[in-house]
Amino acid sequence: MLVFTACTDTSQVAEETPGTTPSTAPITSPGGTRSIRTTTTTITLDPAPTTSTTTGTTSPVAEPIPVDELEVVAFPVPSGSRPHDVAPAVDGGVWYTAQGSGDLGWLNPASGETRHIDLGAGSRPHGVIVDGNGVAWITDGGRNSIISFDPDTDEVTEFALPDERANANLNTAAFDGSGELWFTGQNGVLGVLDPATGEIEVFDSPRGPGPYGIAATPLGTIYFASLAGSYVGLVGDDGSITVLEPPTPAQGARRVWSDSHGAIWVSEWNSGQLSRYDPNTETWETWSLPGAAPQAYAVYVDDSDIVWVSDFGGNAIHRFDSESDSFHTFELPNNPSNVRQILGRPGEVWGAESAADTLVVIRRISG
């Protein structure tokens, strides 16, 4: 674990050079490895119809905002940022991983002001989420570390993966019901960090390379998607992994998210589909995205149980209402936009246009 005071930069940042591979900083940290048992036996979960999908605490499902009352608003960020993931901050701002410049970014939606926090040499941040104390947690593929940033103290804390787990290609993270942070790496890695002790356990995922998106249900159960493996993994309380097979072969499951009932929604990159797995009935449903050649990248379920999915092929974010089995398409302001992740808070759905150095929000029309 490494702790240091962050340097900030509110100026423009240099353009990333495509095709380069950042170096991994020589940092040691506590951690280890363990074996993982893989099973194909499904697990039935209790329903939780009125529980938050992000905090693990109970809250009522909100009424959806009518489609005709929503608008898309764009916020430019510094050139070369190439924002990858976003996470609403507790202060009303929005965190984003500036993968191109190796920073953690923060946007003030009221003023458009941005702030960049230096994450260290070779940083290439991918995912960002926020815990209950407002601390931002980043999966950093360039430094092969989990990094946290405390906005109250401006401290950056780094948890490096063990030396034998170099180049994990870290992707995304989620907190389980006990407060442990689970994370994925596309080079065949699944791991867990105990924030209280700094201990990291890293192990091989089923079928080798591919783990990408990860999320927790309202009850704190962890699911992840394997892009290369084309499956959804369920992490059991005993450390076992249940491999769940979506109905479409080689569909390219990319990201996952839970609704308030604990059902798992999956964005399928190869097939251009949206799928849902119900753990209580062990059944799947699948819908094709609108358009001629959709590419489903990110998926997110809001506080109204409305499903949002980004579409590279359609250069859009689609809103899916499972009650009516209908999509509504929001065209994005830039083309290409390449929204790689979606996250939100009540009344707002945020995404990052990684190809256009822009954050976007879908929210109620102002004024």
pLDDT tens digits, one per residue of 157-215: 999 999 999 999 999 999 999 999 999 999 999 999 999 999 999 999 999 999 999 99
Bridge partners, 137 (sequence order): 129, 148
The pLDDT assigned to 345 comes to 97
Q: What is the mean pLDDT of residues 117-128?
A: 98
Q: Is the pLDDT of residue 218 over 80?
A: yes
9 Ramachandran zone, left/alpha/beta (phi>0; psi -120 to 50): beta
- Read off the pLDDT band of 366 (50, 70, 90): confident
Question: How many angstroms separate the CA atoms of 222 and 231, rounded?
Answer: 14
Asked if pLDDT for residue 260 goes beyond 80, the answer is yes
Do residues 23 and 15 lie in contact, with contact meaning Cβ atoms separated by under 8 Å?
no
pLDDT at 60: 73
Output the pTM of the full model: 0.85
What the block records as the tokens of 233 is 């993994």
Q: To the nearest whole number, what is the mean pLDDT of the chain?
A: 87
pLDDT digits (tens, 9 = 90+) for 30-67: 333 333 333 332 222 333 333 333 334 445 799 999 99
Q: Would you say residue 16 has pLDDT above 70?
A: no
The β-bridge partners of 235 are: 222, 241
User: Is residue 85 very low, low, confident or very high in pLDDT (cuts 50, 70, 90)?
Assistant: very high
Quote the pLDDT of residue 244. Answer: 98
Q: What percent of the chain has a predicted confidence (pLDDT) above 70?
A: 84
- What are the pLDDT digits (tens) for 294-341? 999 999 999 999 999 999 999 999 999 998 999 999 999 999 999 999
Residue 237 has pLDDT above 60, yes or no: yes
Residue type, 226: S
Q: Is the peptide bond before 336 cis (omega within 30 degrees of 0)?
A: yes
Query: For position 245, what pLDDT does the model report?
Result: 97
Residue 256 backbone dihedrals phi, psi, to 5 degrees: -135, 155
Average pLDDT, integer, range 246-259: 98
pLDDT of residue 18: 28
* Alpha carbons 136 and 142: distance in angstroms, whole number: 18
Query: What's the rounded mean pLDDT across residues 104-125?
Result: 98
Coil, helix or strand for 68?
Answer: helix
Interstrand relation of 241-244 and 38-39 (parallel, antiparallel or unpaired): parallel
Residue 352 has what pLDDT? 98
Q: Distance between CA atoms of 109 and 361, rounded to whole angstroms? A: 9
DSSP 293: S
Section 90-104 average pLDDT: 98
Question: What was the pLDDT predicted at 126?
Answer: 98
